[in-house]
Amino acid sequence: MGQPVEVQILSSAAKQGREFHSPEAIHDWAKGGCRGPNPLEPRQGRGKRSEASERVSIAGGGETVGAGGGGICEQVRAVPLDDFRRIGEVVILKATSSISSKETAERVLILDFGSQYTQVIARRIREAKVYSEIVPHTISAREILSLRPKGIVLSGGPASVYAPHAPKMDRAIFHLGIPILGICYGMQLLVHEFGGQVARGTRREYGRGTLRRKKNCPLLEKLPARLEIWNSHGDRVTRLPRGFQSVATTENSPYAVVQRGNIYGLQFHPEVSHTPKGQQILGNFLKKICGCRGTWTMGSFVKRGVSDVRQQVGNGRVILGLSGGVDSSVAAALLHKAIGNRLRCIFVDNGLLRKGEVESVKRIFGKHRHFNLTVIDARLRFLRRLRGVADPEKKRKIIGREFIHVFNDAAKKVGRGAQFLAQGTLYPDVIESVPIAGNPASLIKSHHNVGGLPKRMKLGLVEPLRQLFKDEVRKVGEVLGLPKEMVWRQPFPGPGLAVRCLGAIEEKKLSVLREADAIVVEEMKASGWYYRIWQSFAVLLPCRSVGVMGDERTYDNAVAIRAVESKDGMTADWVRLPGDLLGKISNRICNEVKGVNRVVLDVSSKPPATIEWE
């Protein structure tokens, strides 16, 4: 052991009960003559320093270094010099009394290592009314300190910790004393960084598993000894680093939950709906380990969203593609709240819409909501571009590209010099289209709002809902005063019926699908199931089958019924609809829709399937 080192804080800010978590930063800063940013200086929100001054006194080997100061001196803790360099060692500078100060929002940071479920983690944290923010895995410890998070989550990811270009993180983050939860790859990374061993499992763990608790810990407090969980990993921890302990196991992993102090690792995914008690696990991390109270709401998001739109748009004008769906409707309401009549809503009839959609949009938004609304008939333009195209990716890109061209034309005619195009893009659209923050998430499919955008777009892009999930958007819609029938409408894909009409697009096939889909919607609403589940719709399959109608042989199309339950669109399970309801839908489609003689039911979950067929 080295010489005793006395760490003191001299400041009125000490009375605020703040915690400063980096002993190495304190020591290095003081030994360096207190030059550069003070690691002990409190932050009053991002980018703002407290007016209170600090003084650090480190006395070791007869040396004392200090800077600034004034107020009541409090001795906080004496630590041997060598302990400053011990991994995980924390010096707490904290006073017992407190003074009033403006409350700062609780924040939990999620370091993104490329998982498809990174923002599902963010969504689950928000469900606990704690603000979550996704940041690149390359963020520095200094940047994290400036954000003053209550906790840090390390996301999963597709890489192996031993891969040559595997994403890493600033190791100093482990020294900050801030609670950390590593999930899947995040757990493997922290174990690897602390000196443990990670290796390829004897078999890949994918799907449901059973977690067996060995020891009590705050993370699993008030949970059963056996839990159903969801796995998705190939690597696993084979040896724990010094100081870590195994808290729970699965069939294939003796280290499914590990702990060292306030650092935890989970080999499974608590954020997905297939882990039934996952929200309680995350809640324990937030409330019992991070000390969060849960004060973040959709009302606060609306305030920030309005402010962000005003800052981005300035005095400019915005045009928005209004489809009548939840996403574009809520985006329009938020934009209208922010910039008023400088928003021009343009409804494009692209020939890929549901039955009665044009009339519904005119009635709700034009007559009742008094939006600046222009309706453009572009059916022939879109269908001409899509003629003979069967590939799903090409469909999406063509629709997205043509969508932008239509809006460029509309801006010249009715936009009166609009500088921005607004879209109701949501997170599931983005995460299935492009990696977030440059991380190596695997591409699933392009979305018309994202992947199909031309490289040189003539309008700036405004996406106020880009970081929200569908259920959050609905809550925002309620906050903005939109009616229930609009807010709780089932999702409809941006490319419209083009991704539900498999194969090449033809007007006749779209007409068949449009009629079949209308029957599904009617019967779901009549039975009370429509508002109970996430999504229900018809899909026209690219095949024909033999049937008998009356006394005649038929050779007609088949339609699939897709009905799923989901919380956010990232995972979904097929809904067990009553047999009599399915029978009624099938009979009506076969009897009323010319060209269909067979109806089948899609019983696939997501994963492995996606909700939409294309």
| pLDDT at residue 257 greater than cutoff 50 | yes
The type of residue at 110 is I
Determine the pLDDT at residue 497. Answer: 95
70 vs 309, higher pLDDT? 309
* SS3 state of residue 502: coil
Q: In the CATH hierarchy, which fold is given to the domain comprising 298-487?
A: Rossmann fold (3.40.50)
* pLDDT, tens digit, 9 for 90 and up, residues 599-610: 999 999 998 999
Alpha-carbon dihedral sign for residues 466, 469, 475, 481: positive
Q: What are the tokens at 132?
A: 């979550």
Determine the pLDDT at residue 202. Answer: 56
The CATH number that domain 500-601 falls under is: 3.30.300.10
Residue range 140-156: average pLDDT?
Answer: 94
State how far the alpha carbon of 97 is from the alpha carbons of 14, 78, 575, in Å.
9, 20, 55
Determine the pLDDT at residue 207. Answer: 76
Phi, psi angles (nearest 5°) of residue 226: -120, 130
Determine the pLDDT at residue 90. Answer: 31
| pLDDT at residue 30 greater than cutoff 60 | no
Catalytic residue list? 184, 269, 271
* pLDDT, tens digit, 9 for 90 and up, residues 393-448: 999 999 988 988 887 787 778 766 788 889 888 866 765 554 444 444 444 444 44
| pLDDT at residue 76 greater than cutoff 50 | no
Q: State in Å, rounded, how far the first CA of the chain is from the last one.
A: 64
Strands 107-112 and 131-136, how do they pair?
parallel
* SS3 state of residue 170: coil
| pLDDT at residue 52 greater than cutoff 80 | no
| pLDDT at residue 264 greater than cutoff 90 | yes
* pLDDT, tens digit, 9 for 90 and up, residues 94-114: 222 222 223 346 899 999 998
Q: 93: closest CA among 145, 15, 25?
A: 15
DSSP 8-state secondary structure symbol assigned to residue 254: T
| pLDDT at residue 91 greater than cutoff 50 | no
What region does 216 belong to: left with phi over 0, alpha with psi -120 to 50, or beta? beta
What is the three-state SS of 256-285? CEEEECCEEEECCCCCCCCCCCHHHHHHHH
Determine the pLDDT at residue 433. Answer: 54
Q: 538: closest CA among 585, 603, 608?
A: 585
298-487 against 500-601: fold identical: no
Buried b (16+ CB within 10 A) or exposed e, 590-600: beebebbbbbe
Determine the pLDDT at residue 116. Answer: 80
CB atoms within 10 A of CB 146: 17
Q: What are the tokens at 11?
A: 């400041």
519 vs 146, higher pLDDT? 519
Determine the pLDDT at residue 316. Answer: 92
Residue 526 neighbours by CB under 8 Å, 6+ apart:
none
Determine the pLDDT at residue 73. Answer: 23
* pLDDT, tens digit, 9 for 90 and up, residues 450-493: 444 444 456 788 999 987 888 889 999 999 988 887 888 898 88
Q: What are the tokens at 597?
A: 């003689």
* Mean pLDDT taken over the chain: 79
**Over pLDDT 70: what percentage of the chain?**
76
Residue 314 neighbours by CB under 8 Å, 6+ apart:
none
Residue range 327-347: average pLDDT?
Answer: 92
Domain ranges of the chain: 4-85, 107-289, 298-487, 500-601
| pLDDT at residue 36 greater than cutoff 70 | no
Q: 607: closest CA among 569, 565, 571, 575?
A: 571
State how far the alpha carbon of 517 is from the alpha carbons of 358, 485, 524, 535, 555, in Å.
16, 18, 11, 12, 21
Asked whether the beta carbons of 322 and 329 are under 8 A apart, the reply is yes
**Over pLDDT 90: what percentage of the chain?**
51
Q: In the CATH hierarchy, which fold is given to the domain comprising 107-289?
A: Rossmann fold (3.40.50)
pTM for this entry: 0.61
Determine the pLDDT at residue 78. Answer: 34
**Long-range CB contacts for residues 571-580, cutoff 8 Å, separation at least 24:** 571/120, 571/272, 571/273, 571/274, 571/605, 571/606, 571/607, 572/534, 572/535, 572/605, 572/606, 572/611, 573/273, 573/605, 573/606, 574/602, 574/603, 574/604, 574/605, 575/529, 575/533, 575/536, 577/529, 578/527
Q: How far apart are CA 117 and CA 271, in angstroms?
A: 8
88 vs 293, higher pLDDT? 293
Q: What is the 3-state composition of the chain as percent helix, strand, coil, each rounded to the nearest 5?
A: 35, 25, 40
Determine the pLDDT at residue 231. Answer: 84
341 vs 309, higher pLDDT? 309
| pLDDT at residue 375 greater than cutoff 70 | yes
Tell the burial category of 33 from Cβ atoms under 10 Å away from its Cβ (0-12, 13-18, 19+). Answer: exposed
| pLDDT at residue 509 greater than cutoff 70 | yes
